Amino acid sequence: MAGICVAGGTGQVGREVVRRAIAAGHAVTVLSRHVPPAGSEKHHDGAIYCAGDVTTGEGLAAALAGADVVIDCLEGQFGKAQKKFADGGARLLATAHLADVPKAVALSIVNCDLSTFPYYVSKADKERMYSESPLETVVVRATQFHGLVAMLFSAGAKVLVIPAFRETRFQSISPADVARALLDAALEAPRVERHRVRTVGGPEVLTMRQMAELWKAATGSRGRIVELRLPGAMGAFLRAGKNLIPGQSGGTETFVSWLEKRQESL
């Protein structure tokens, strides 16, 4: 049994890590800015929840006490949270080092260091913090989640337009598959190489048009699929296929199977 601290353990990937770790018999502590109420979808019986904030350091020491590994599933998508994302990672690692936690695992994005898109830049900056840490570290880079693409379709469908970016493919993956990869990395035996990067992607590569057609069929949406050219840094990144890991996967749940499980909420 390992002592596992899951930072960001109430998010979509973090809570799946927590669920899997508890089921496997590990002692799990969750670090989150807010402690979720018992009975909510963000709360798992069997985990200890600690309120803390990586931007200030408040509560970190208590959450990390006695842990064998910390799994960092934190996100910082917008505004101040994005600007402080890498610094928060450094603060988490520093506190873990003081608490004698030997290992840290972080969730990141495939090829984030090849993009100028601000959110991806923040991920790459955080990766550098991990590569410079005195702890043994593993960065798990994942392709885009199924839910990200579905969210774009759902937003457009409200005005009867389902957007599909031209010359764009996705190798989307489920949060459950990413959580499994994170937990596997956390529990593997120590390696000679102190800082490692892993990649995990979905089981298939589809054009966004194909995904739009699958989403429309699954949801019964009356929206019309409209192909658009995505401008800017993200458009260039996607058209170049830098969001893909050809020949690699690791994920098992396809976009269609993920949709079928979530039809009631789509």
Is the model's pLDDT at 89 over the cut of 70? yes
Q: Which pLDDT tens digit goes with each residue over 153-180? A: 999 999 999 999 999 999 999 999 999 9
Is the model's pLDDT at 73 over the cut of 80? yes
Q: Where are the beta strands (DSSP E) in 127-220?
A: 136-142, 161-165, 169-170, 195-200, 206-207
- In angstroms, the CA 75 to CA 86 distance is 10
- In angstroms, the CA 103 to CA 226 distance is 46
pLDDT of residue 39: 85
pLDDT of residue 81: 67
pTM for the model stands at: 0.93
pLDDT band at 249 (very low <50, low <70, confident <90, very high): confident
pLDDT band at 265 (very low <50, low <70, confident <90, very high): very low
pLDDT of residue 78: 60
Domains in the chain (CATH in brackets) are 3-142+175-200 (3.40.50.720)
- Which is nearest to 266 in space by CA: 101, 150, 127? 150
32-60 mean pLDDT? 93
In our burial notation (b when 16+ CB lie closer than 10 A, e otherwise), range 193-214 reads eeebebbbbbbebbbbbebbeb
Give the least confident one: 36-45, 81-90, 93-102, 245-254.
81-90
Is the model's pLDDT at 266 over the cut of 50? no
pLDDT of residue 253: 96
Percent of the chain with pLDDT over 70: 97
